[in-house]
């Protein structure tokens, strides 16, 4: 029978560790719970772990997908399943062993007495805001609704990413074709034209000189281009792991003419949506304002939301605190003011968030529709410039022949 190593709290708060034999990890968690132990660590011993260790090829697919997880859970919970039974059904439908193991750990924690929020916090894909929403839903008995809202949020984000990737596919293909055309011109056309200019007093055209330099660099230092690509890739991966670099990039994007307003409206919509859900689940206003402010990914925008919390803590009404910040539009402030007076703040905040989100979605779709023709015209202009330069070179050859 497999052996599990555990660490747990006793009823008097003391800590206990040891080994436990059980058929499965879930059985071990139940056994500890019956014995009055609240486990905070439960794992197979090394001998048992080696057989279940995932291969290195599966490292890129180990994270649980939140949009699918919460979508399945919301359906099952609304159908009357308890959270542990719903998780068991999700685990049974999961084909990836690594993700299956992570979800099994969550179920084991819930069975052993942990709260839903604490159990889900062990997943690497869970943000602090998601954990806070689950905690508020558990306290208010609205965990199914919270899972549904989380699923909708994650699915909307996934759809936006897919739309952006799809819109960028054709321009990326054109860019690759253009780079290939440059290498063909440098490797085939330039060597055929260069001998004509040897011994001549006429200078080579600028574009031809640039293509010639590109060809010579590629011949003399063939490893230079792959090295540049590798360095750029490593630099991108390194910067993407740095929170400081991400904050700087996000702040720079928020100041751009087209993307800036979209980023700000998206942050405001997410803030209002989270605030609505937290207040509806019984979280106090100050705690909800703090948690909603933490959902904002842009470091440059966080002080505005922190000021709202500070003003409310000092006695201001929510709509007055929001009106003092430049991020919020007058229509949004007016709607929140009406909701506050009518004591229907959660519903009004959700409506305001939906209105902002619909506006952001329509603007993103319009930009994506314009992106492909803009990129096509821009790349066509570059290619056309190259063709004109080559034709100028050919005409200059005729001038040399006449001389």
Whether residues 169 and 37 share a domain: the answer is: no
How far apart, in whole angstroms, are the C-alpha atoms of residue 245 and residue 263? 17
Between these two residues, 72 and 4, which has the higher pLDDT value? 72
From the list 170, 73, 53, 189, the residue with the least C-alpha distance to 120 is 73
Tens of pLDDT along 365-375?
Answer: 888 778 778 77
Q: What is the pLDDT of residue 393?
A: 64
Q: Are 192 and 393 in contact (CB under 8 A)?
A: no
How far apart, in Å, do the first and last CA atoms of the chain sit? 95
Give the Cβ contact number of residue 169 at 10 Å.
11
Per-residue tokens: 110: 């819930």
Does residue 271 fall inside a structural domain? Answer: yes
Whether residues 43 and 190 share a domain: the answer is: no
Q: Are 328 and 268 in contact (CB under 8 A)?
A: yes
Structural domain containing residue 23: 1-47
Q: Are 6 and 32 in contact (CB under 8 A)?
A: yes
Alpha-helical (H) ranges within 79-142 are 83-93, 97-111, 116-120, 128-140
Confidence at 312, pLDDT banded by 50, 70, 90? very high
Whether residues 234 and 368 share a domain: the answer is: yes
Does residue 53 fall inside a structural domain? Answer: no
- Structural domain total, the chain: 2
How far apart, in whole angstroms, are the C-alpha atoms of residue 18 and residue 39? 11
Whether residues 40 and 164 share a domain: the answer is: no
What single-letter DSSP state applies at residue 94?
A: -
pTM over 0.85: no
Per-residue tokens: 145: 């609704």
Is the pLDDT at 49 greater than 50, yes or no? no
Does residue 292 fall inside a structural domain? Answer: yes
pLDDT above 70 covers what percent of the chain?
83
Per-residue tokens: 326: 């430049």
From the list 53, 37, 49, the residue with the least C-alpha distance to 18 is 37
DSSP letter string, 270-299: HHHHHHHHHHHTT--HHHHHHHHHHT---T
147 Cβ contact partners less than 8 Å away, ≥ 6 residues apart: 70, 73, 74, 77, 137
Does residue 101 fall inside a structural domain? Answer: no
Between these two residues, 319 and 57, which has the higher pLDDT value? 319
Between these two residues, 306 and 177, which has the higher pLDDT value? 306
Whether residues 215 and 345 share a domain: the answer is: yes
Does residue 60 fall inside a structural domain? Answer: no
Does residue 41 fall inside a structural domain? Answer: yes
CATH number at residue 191: 1.20.81.30
Considering only 115-124, 247-256, 279-288, 304-313, which range has the smallest mean pLDDT? Answer: 247-256
Tens of pLDDT along 85-111?
Answer: 898 888 888 888 888 888 888 888 888
Between these two residues, 182 and 326, which has the higher pLDDT value? 326
Does residue 58 fall inside a structural domain? Answer: no
Q: What is the pLDDT of residue 51?
A: 38
Beta bridge partners of 3: 21
Does residue 148 fall inside a structural domain? Answer: no
CATH number at residue 32: 3.10.20
Tens of pLDDT along 256-286?
Answer: 777 888 888 888 988 898 888 888 888 888 8
What single-letter DSSP state applies at residue 177?
A: H
Is the pLDDT at 58 greater than 50, yes or no? no
pLDDT above 90 covers what percent of the chain?
3
Long-range contacts of 395-399 (CB under 8 A, 24+ apart): 396/202, 396/205, 397/193, 397/196, 399/202
3-state secondary structure of 19: strand
Considering only 62-66, 117-121, 237-241, 396-400, which range has the smallest mean pLDDT? Answer: 396-400
Whether residues 357 and 212 share a domain: the answer is: yes
Considering only 59-63, 208-212, 292-296, which range has the smallest mean pLDDT? Answer: 59-63
């Amino acid at each position: 029978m497999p052996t599990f190593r555990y660490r747990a709290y006793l009823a008097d708060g003391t800590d206990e560790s040891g080994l436990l034999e059980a058929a499965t990890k879930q059985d071990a968690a139940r056994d500890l719970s019956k014995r009055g132990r609240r486990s905070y660590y439960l794992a197979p011993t090394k001998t048992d772990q080696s057989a279940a260790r995932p291969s290195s090829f599966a490292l890129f697919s180990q994270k649980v997908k939140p949009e699918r997880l919460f979508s399945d859970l919301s359906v099952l919970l609304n159908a009357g399943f308890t959270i542990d039974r719903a998780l068991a059904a999700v685990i049974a439908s999961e084909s990836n062993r690594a993700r299956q193991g992570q979800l099994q750990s969550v179920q084991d924690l819930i069975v052993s007495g942990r709260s839903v929020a604490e159990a889900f916090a062990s997943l690497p894909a869970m943000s602090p805001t998601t954990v806070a929403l689950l905690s508020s839903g558990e306290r208010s008995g609205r965990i199914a609704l919270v899972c549904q809202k989380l699923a909708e949020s994650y699915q909307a984000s996934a759809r936006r990413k897919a739309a952006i990737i799809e819109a960028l596919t054709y321009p990326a293909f054109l860019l690759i074709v253009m780079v290939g055309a440059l290498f063909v011109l440098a490797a085939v056309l330039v060597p055929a034209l260069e001998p004509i200019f040897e011994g001549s007093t006429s200078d080579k055209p600028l574009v031809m000189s640039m293509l010639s330099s590109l060809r010579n660099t590629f011949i003399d230092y063939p490893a230079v281009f792959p090295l540049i690509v590798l360095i750029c890739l490593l630099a991108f991966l390194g910067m993407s792991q740095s929170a400081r670099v991400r904050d700087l990039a996000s702040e720079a994007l928020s100041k751009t003419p087209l993307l800036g307003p979209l980023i700000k409206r998206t942050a405001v919509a997410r803030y209002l949506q989270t605030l609505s859900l937290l207040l509806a689940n019984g979280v106090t206003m100050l705690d909800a304002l703090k948690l909603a402010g933490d959902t904002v990914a842009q470091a440059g925008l966080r002080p505005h939301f922190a000021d709202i919390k500070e003003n409310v803590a000092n006695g201001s009404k929510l709509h007055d605190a929001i009106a003092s910040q430049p991020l919020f539009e007058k229509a949004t402030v007016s709607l929140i003011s009406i909701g506050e007076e009518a004591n229907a703040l959660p519903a009004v905040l959700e409506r305001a968030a939906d209105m902002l989100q619909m506006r952001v979605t329509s603007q993103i779709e319009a930009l994506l529709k314009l992106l492909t023709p803009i990129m096509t015209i821009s790349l066509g202009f570059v290619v056309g410039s190259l063709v004109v330069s080559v034709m100028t070179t050919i005409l200059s050859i005729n001038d040399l022949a006449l001389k």
